[in-house]
Amino acid sequence: MNDWYLSNVTIIQSCLIAAMLAMSMQVTMRVGVLSVAGIGFYGLGQYSTALLVLHGILPWGLAIAVTALACGVLAYALARVLSRVRGLYLTMVTLGLVLVLTVVASNGGEFTGGATGLYGIPVTVATWHMLVVIAVGIVICAVTERGFVGRASEALRSDEMLAASVGIEARTVRRANFGLSGMLGAVAGGLNVLTFGTVNPFDAGFPLMVTILTAVIVGGQRTWLGAVIGAFLITSLPTLLSSFSGDTREMAFGALVVVLATYAPDGLLGFASAALRRLRSSLRPPPTMAEPERRRELADV
Amino acid sequence: MSEPGLDQRAHREPVLDVDQVSVHFGGVKAVHELSLALADGELVGLVGPNGSGKSTLLGAISRLTAINAGQLSIVGQRYDHESPAAAARLGIARTFQTVRLLPRLSVLDNVMLGSNQAFRLEDGTRWLARLTSIRSRERLLEQSARDALDRVGLGYLARARPGGLPYGLQRKVEIARALASDPKLLLLDEPTAGMSRTERDEIGALISQLSREGLAEILVEHDVTMMVNACPRLVVMSQGQIIADGDARSVVRLPSVQEAYLGGDYRAPAQS
Amino acid sequence: MLQQLLDSVVLASIYILFSIGMSLAWGILGILNLAHGAILMFSAYVAYLWADSTSASLPMVLIAGLLAGGVLSLLMELGPFRAIRHSVGDAEELELRTVIASLGVSTILVAVAAHYTGNTSFQVPTTFQPTAYQIGSVRISDLQVIIIVVGFGLSLLLALWLSRSRNGRAVRALESDVETAALMGISERKLSSATMFVSGALAGLAGVFLVIYLGATDPAASHSLLTSAFAVIVIGGVGSIGGAVIGALVLALLETLVISNTSGVWSPAIAFSFIIVVLLVRPEGLFSSSRTKVDRV
């Protein structure tokens, strides 16, 4: 078991980081916003953590924590600034944001290491650190999927007018989700940089956006579990299919995204849970008005 | 003989005060300088031909439609600059002309959206304090939702998905959701459309009962006969303005009202 | 200065061709096609393939690009877009799925092109040799004239058709309400197919022009081109041709100025900065009228 772990440690760590990134995207998707800002904050998190550590300003643990908090606040502020921008416009803004960050980073001269990026960042993060962090992230995502916050999110996602009519302030929920998304992305970036020791401006670009979106779509955008499953699949698949070139892999991903978006928008997890539900309901007949007594018993099963 | 209740109501502040409200859509005066007041427990029927502005008025009251002029107050508190969500939190609940239920949530969860109302997401510190009692809070929300479902007779459907339900039942769930928020004012936009005769009578009885319990309601329906029978007070709109407001049976005999309804579906009830 | 102005107008013309297609698809069908940039690039690639094997003249190469773009766009409509439109879900959800599907197509196209070009730039050789003329302090080539004429000319024709012809006016009146279209007797199928074909054809045309004008392009350019098109649409408003013209001119002018005054690395940032500024001030774009997602209360 130990041998398997040691020979696959890089993949496992990449999977965990991808999972966090996927969750950062899923968190805004559950309120109906397709945002790649999480990827942008991934890049910011990478650079911020790297710079804090390289210049000896903070020990690595605090560097990640401070970065995460700062990015969370920044993301929240960004959501405030963009609160009047909706739907597809918002998507494009986040897309443009990521591209601009790439441009800024590659033109940052000495400070950001320019187009070649930064090297020699001490590798201080171990897998168990990642597991702890992702566990915390999962808890936050899971808790906000249930209860009143979960219902509010679903209402916002599906029918904003209805949400408003039952007292749900769209702005607040959206901003909170954006902030969470920023934090998750930034943490993923910080962990990545402290695991692999380098960062360059093209890490957080279009290809990563597409990969993470594919992961979320494949696994299932409705819950954090879908994002995690998708991320693990997408990250580990290339090594399983290492005989194929990068471009072929991209083609396959693209095709997968198209097929899923068209026929199975809730991904593998959505497909599985829908099948399960259909199975359950075929075993239990639907309630009718004629037999309220019997239905009451069965409905509580 | 005047009822003591009526006198008391006249002295109290109106639950809803619509004061000279106008809603203009690019040149069209959907609602024009309209004033309306409702007291506690008052059940008002809102009628008018298509395009008279009934739905727009409901939208204005619930703040889902912006107003161009005038004031809105609920229990004496001005809210014409508030967001629709804030208006809901002030105690205004409504149903919609087209059923708006979330297909991915169970019936109970849908109704709990209404009881959600007590949860103020914008108040950060109170939210943190509430985190500690999340589970008990959730139980409270669930209980009020179940109570609301029971009131419309659909307690047994708690776990069902709204998508598979017949139209009439879906509308009942919507009403339950509005009730779950313990509102001060209930706006019902054609709540019985698509319901059977029996269901219609049930809802009619519920609406009357709620009024007796002190809930102010505005009911918009096409079935004028039903309205006259159910609502003590009738407000008739035409072209964005109120052309009549008063006792239902008298209002309906006014020549101006009958003219607005030329060819309408109202037949004066047989002499009783 | 005048030279830069000329260069901007040429670039603007290409942007117009490119953006109008995306804007129309968005305004009439409600489809935000994020593969539009990839379609432009891929059409140029197809033109390259064809020109490489035969010795092609300029018109032939343009037609090749036009057809490639049109067909690609049409396939997207006949395939994923139509299937999504006919599936169950509320408007926002379908819109999101359409966007995601278009991202998938974009990935495929870029990957295919990258695979066969080795992810390097490619050119489109033609038998056409541009001749340059000197008018005062300005150098102008006949290629530039052609681009300007085709770009502005086609958009003028399109604008006229939409506002004068009966079919055009009907389409205009819809503004993406496809159900009303059916009631008005316009076949939803024909409308969406035609719109997507034209949209892609214009992109293909722009792609070939771009490659010939700039000398070369590469698969990765799709993304920044997409941002540029979006900036044009945001400035000009969705579905507005006149707005797209103005947006394209403004953007092209700014980019040209920045490129000539800095080393050009900041130019992708311009488009985005524009997007941000305009959307903050006027979320629906400077010239648009309807079909927007703006908070109204």
ipTM of the complex: 0.83
Domain count, chain C: 1
Q: What are the backbone angles phi and psi of residue A61, rounded to the nearest 5°?
A: -60, -50
CA distances from B263 to B66, B237, B245, B253, C9 (A): 32, 16, 21, 15, 62
| Highest mean pLDDT pick, B113-117, C38-42, C250-254 | C38-42
Does residue A276 sit within a domain?
A: no
Angstrom distance (rounded) from CA C227 to CA C238: 15
Angstrom distance (rounded) from CA C269 to CA A100: 5
Does residue A223 sit within a domain?
A: no
Angstrom distance (rounded) from CA C179 to CA A41: 41
Shortest distance, CA A259 to any CA of chain C (angstroms): 8
pLDDT value of residue C105: 94
Domain that residue C103 falls in: 2-128+136-219
User: What predicted TM-score, i.e. pTM, was given to this entire model?
Assistant: 0.82
CATH architecture of residue range(s) B99-182 = 3-Layer(aba) Sandwich (3.40)
pLDDT value of residue C86: 87
Residues in a beta bridge with B92 = B185
Shortest distance, CA A97 to any CA of chain B (angstroms): 27
Which residues in chain A have their CB less than 8 angstroms from residue B175's CB? none
pLDDT value of residue C90: 75
For the cut 80, the answer to whether the pLDDT of residue C229 exceeds it is yes
Gyration radius (Cα) of chain B, Å: 19
- What's the one-letter identity of residue B34? L
Angstrom distance (rounded) from CA C140 to CA C63: 24
A146: nearest CA partner in chain B: B138
B216 sits in which H/E element: strand B216-220
Q: Which residue bears the tokens 């992230």? A: A137
Task: Spell out which chain B residues touch chain A, with contact meaning CB-CB distance below 8 angstroms.
Answer: 62, 64, 83-86, 88-89, 93-94, 96, 100, 102-105, 109, 112-114, 116-117, 119, 121-122, 134, 137-138, 141, 155-160, 164, 166, 169, 177, 181
Provide, rounded to the nearest whole percent, the portion of chain B with pLDDT above 70.
Answer: 85
Does residue C292 sit within a domain?
A: no
Inter-chain touch C296–B84, beta carbons under 8 Å? no
Inter-chain touch A263–C293, beta carbons under 8 Å? no
Report long-range pairs for A5-13 (Cβ below 8 Å, ≥24 apart): A9/A127, A11/A235, A11/A236, A11/A239, A12/A127, A13/A127, A13/A130, A13/A195
C287 SS3 class: coil
CA distances from A239 to A196, A233, A235, A256, B77 (A): 18, 11, 8, 18, 64
Angstrom distance (rounded) from CA A199 to CA A47: 7
Q: Which chains touch A (3 or more CB pairs under 8 A)?
A: B, C
**Chain A contact probe: residue of B100, B107, B122, B199 with most A CBs at under 10 A:** B100
Domain count, chain A: 1
Shortest distance, CA B85 to any CA of chain A (angstroms): 4
Which residues in chain B have their CB less than 8 angstroms from residue A289's CB? 166, 169
Strands C138-141 and C132-135, bridge-based pairing:
antiparallel
Inter-chain touch A165–B84, beta carbons under 8 Å? yes
Angstrom distance (rounded) from CA A108 to CA A201: 10
pLDDT value of residue C284: 65
Does residue C290 sit within a domain?
A: no
Strands B69-74 and B241-247, bridge-based pairing:
unpaired
pLDDT band at C180 (very low <50, low <70, confident <90, very high): low
For the cut 70, the answer to whether the pLDDT of residue B8 exceeds it is no
pLDDT value of residue B5: 44
Burial profile A273-295: b = 16 or more Cβ within 10 angstroms, e = fewer: beeeeeeeeeeeeebebeeeeeb
Angstrom distance (rounded) from CA C138 to CA C1: 9
pLDDT value of residue A142: 92
pLDDT value of residue A72: 94
Instruction: Please say whether the beta carbons of A155 and B102 come within 8 A.
Output: yes
B87: nearest CA partner in chain C: C297
Inter-chain touch C101–A93, beta carbons under 8 Å? no
Inter-chain touch B104–A147, beta carbons under 8 Å? no
For residue B201, the tally of other CB atoms under 10 A from its CB is 14
For the cut 60, the answer to whether the pLDDT of residue B4 exceeds it is no
Name every residue whose Cβ is closer than 8 Å to that of residue A149 and which is 6 or more positions away in sequence. A143, A173, B121
Instruction: Please say whether the beta carbons of B229 and B222 come within 8 A.
Output: no
Does residue C86 sit within a domain?
A: yes
pLDDT value of residue C265: 65
Per-residue pLDDT of chain A (301 residues; tens, 9 = 90+): 788 888 888 889 999 999 999 999 999 999 888 999 999 999 999 999 999 998 888 898 899 999 999 999 999 999 998 888 877 788 878 888 888 888 888 887 778 788 788 888 888 888 899 999 999 999 999 988 888 888 989 998 888 889 999 988 888 889 999 999 999 999 999 999 999 988 988 888 878 888 899 899 999 998 999 999 999 998 888 776 666 667 788 888 889 889 999 988 888 888 888 888 888 878 776 655 544 544 444 444 4
For the cut 60, the answer to whether the pLDDT of residue B132 exceeds it is no
Q: Looking at per-residue confidence, does C268 or C20 come out higher?
A: C20
Which residues in chain B have their CB less than 8 angstroms from residue A163's CB? 85
pLDDT value of residue A253: 84
| Highest mean pLDDT pick, A236-245, B26-35, B256-265, C132-141 | B26-35
For the cut 80, the answer to whether the pLDDT of residue B197 exceeds it is yes
Domain that residue A48 falls in: 2-205
Q: What are the backbone angles phi and psi of residue C248, rounded to the nearest 5°?
A: -65, -45
Burial class (CB within 10 angstroms; exposed 0-12, middle 13-18, buried 19+) of A229: buried
C88: nearest CA partner in chain B: B103
Classify residue B75 as left (phi > 0), alpha (psi -120 to 50) or beta: left
**Chain C contact probe: residue of A85, A209, A221, A244 with most C CBs at under 10 A:** A85
pLDDT in tens, C57-75: 888 889 999 999 999 999 9
Q: Does CATH place domain B1-91+184-265 in 1.10.3720.10?
A: no
Shortest distance, CA C279 to any CA of chain A (angstroms): 7
Gyration radius (Cα) of chain A, Å: 21
pLDDT value of residue B121: 44
Shortest distance, CA C90 to any CA of chain B (angstroms): 10
Which residues in chain B have their CB less than 8 angstroms from residue A139's CB? none
> What is the maximum alpha-carbon separation in chain C?
62
pLDDT value of residue C281: 76
A222 SS3 class: coil
Q: Looking at per-residue confidence, does B105 or C164 come out higher?
A: B105
pLDDT value of residue A50: 92
For the cut 50, the answer to whether the pLDDT of residue B43 exceeds it is yes
Burial profile A185-213: b = 16 or more Cβ within 10 angstroms, e = fewer: bbbbbbbbbbbbebbbbebbbbbbbbbbb
Angstrom distance (rounded) from CA B238 to CA B244: 9
Angstrom distance (rounded) from CA B99 to CA B230: 22
A273 SS3 class: helix
Shortest distance, CA A119 to any CA of chain C (angstroms): 23
